[in-house]
Amino acid sequence: MRGVVSLKEDGPAGSVRQKTPGERLNVLISGAGIAGCTLAYWLCHSGHSVTVIERSRGLRSSGSPVDVRGPAVDVTGRMNVLAELQDVRIRLRGMTFVDAAGGKVARVDIESLRSSMVPKDIEVARADLVRILHAASANDADYVFGDSIRTLSQDDVGVDVTFEKSPPRRFDLVVGADGLHSIVRRLAFGPDSAFLAHAGLYAATVPLVPSAVSDDEMFLLNVPGKMVALHPRASTPLAYFVFWHPEIPEFDYTNLDQHKLILEKNFTGLGWRVPEFLAAVRAACDLYFDSVARVRVPDWGRGRIVLLGDAASCVSLFGDGSTLAIAGAYELSKALEESPSDPGAAFTRYQAAHGKRVAAKQKALGLMAARLVPKTSTGIWLSTRIFWKAVAGVAAGVRLGRKLRAK
């Protein structure tokens, strides 16, 4: 990590010519999150020159546990960071549903579900994942913290970029890996309103002071339309608030005071340990609070600018955002490796391959949301007493099938 540094001038604007295959590209990535750090690694690995610009003054540390699944396990394996991820993995044993008085309603054996259904998946704190992905490319890519793109202007052979703080510079390609509220998308593709759709829910997380909670059990309280959860995480427990709510017109994802008021208004009086969680909200200097949203951009590439991760195709919260960010970054780097001199063709191949994964997850978003945050008492009963029992039954069947095959 090079801290807050200025970008260097990179030769006179307009002097860039077409690259020939195998030639080194000069790429700017906006956002040092999961997608940005993974792409930085793979582009550096292919010999390209990479600058990553991150608005925060350091790697962001808030956020919930996330899953590294399927294709993302393969990609992180090829990056040689799997062992590190295993070291910091969260080992959740179970998920206990409670009622407003704190009484146990039902329990799901997460450990056995995972080992039979998805044995290779790894759950880690988002901050640990970003730290490890960043470290993998920190010596090769130029990371610039505390700055943001101000303007983008592209022609056939490059993109002129101005920044909030650093001097202007020209790049061969610009990648928007800057999340749900991407500045690259806004500048090069259009306003958020054209691509971002509220999925009907809001979600927030707040870290709690370490306490005597069980360190391997998650607790959930469902009331119609709302869910509050306590996740143990590795060291700092985290409270989750998720609730169905029509789009709040004046909602500002950067306004901490507003977030505190909204949470207070929607979660006061819910019982269990919610008062304690709301006290943590009131005392918090940093919360994660955002609308659960779908991002749909018809074409992820426009000339020499391309979108990645949540910026291109957010499925938010329930939809494997981190797995898709990692898998998409690898797909984009592979496509650019095949045709560095023809980014348009590379972007089309990247979207054709990765878009299929995203579409499946976006379709499942509504279903997942309804299951985790049922809107009615009947829905809660079905989810806790029937759905999870059925899943456990399937898992037991899978385990039995494996045993029989092994004989």
Specify the stretch interacting with ligand FAD by CB under 6 A; choose among 258-266, 268-276, 316-324, 396-404.
316-324
Is residue 35 involved in binding ligand FAD (CB under 6 A)? yes
Looking at residue 380, its amino acid is I
Question: Residues 317, 327, 346, 380: which binds ligand FAD (CB under 6 A)?
Answer: 317
Letters for 107-146 (x = contact with ligand FAD by CB under 6 A, - = none) are: -------------------x--------------------
Specify the stretch interacting with ligand FAD by CB under 6 A; choose among 18-26, 63-71, 216-224, 265-273.
63-71
Q: Which is nearer to ligand FAD, 32 or 50 (CB)?
A: 32
Q: Which of residues 169-228 bind ligand FAD (CB under 6 A)?
A: 177-179, 183, 205
Q: What's the CA gap between 95 and 20, in Å, rounded?
A: 54
Question: Residues 207, 301, 321, 343: which binds ligand FAD (CB under 6 A)?
Answer: 321
- Count how many residues are written for the chain: 407
Q: Which is nearer to ligand FAD, 16 or 92 (CB)?
A: 92
Q: What's the CA gap between 239 and 234, in Å, rounded?
A: 13
Q: Which is nearer to ligand FAD, 16 or 243 (CB)?
A: 243
Q: Which is nearer to ligand FAD, 97 or 240 (CB)?
A: 240
Question: Residues 309, 340, 343, 374: which binds ligand FAD (CB under 6 A)?
Answer: 309
Q: What's the CA gap between 222 and 365, in Å, rounded?
A: 18
- Got the DSSP string for 11-68? S-TT---PPPTTPPPEEEEE--SHHHHHHHHHHHHTT-EEEEEESSSS------EEEE
Structure-token pair, residue 365 = 């978003």
Is residue 161 involved in binding ligand FAD (CB under 6 A)? no
For the chain, first and last CA: distance in Å?
A: 51
CB 251 within 8 A of CB 211: no
Is residue 297 involved in binding ligand FAD (CB under 6 A)? no
Strand spans (E) along 117-213:
122-125, 142-145, 149-154, 159-163, 169-171, 173-176, 196-207
C-alpha atoms less than 13 angstroms from C-alpha of 15 in its C-beta half-sphere: 6
Q: What's the CA gap between 232 and 210, in Å, rounded?
A: 9
* Chain residue at closest Cβ approach to ligand FAD: 33
Q: Which is nearer to ligand FAD, 158 or 321 (CB)?
A: 321
Is residue 63 involved in binding ligand FAD (CB under 6 A)? yes
Min dist CB 273 to ligand FAD, Å, is 19
Q: What's the CA gap between 115 and 135, in Å, rounded?
A: 29
Min dist CB 320 to ligand FAD, Å, is 9
Q: Which is nearer to ligand FAD, 56 or 348 (CB)?
A: 56
Question: Residues 27, 28, 33, 72: which binds ligand FAD (CB under 6 A)?
Answer: 33
Min dist CB 185 to ligand FAD, Å, is 10
Looking at residue 314, its amino acid is C
Question: Residues 5, 13, 49, 60: which binds ligand FAD (CB under 6 A)?
Answer: 60
Q: Which class for 56: exposed (0-12), middle (13-18), buried (19 or more C-beta within 10 A)?
A: middle
Is residue 374 involved in binding ligand FAD (CB under 6 A)? no
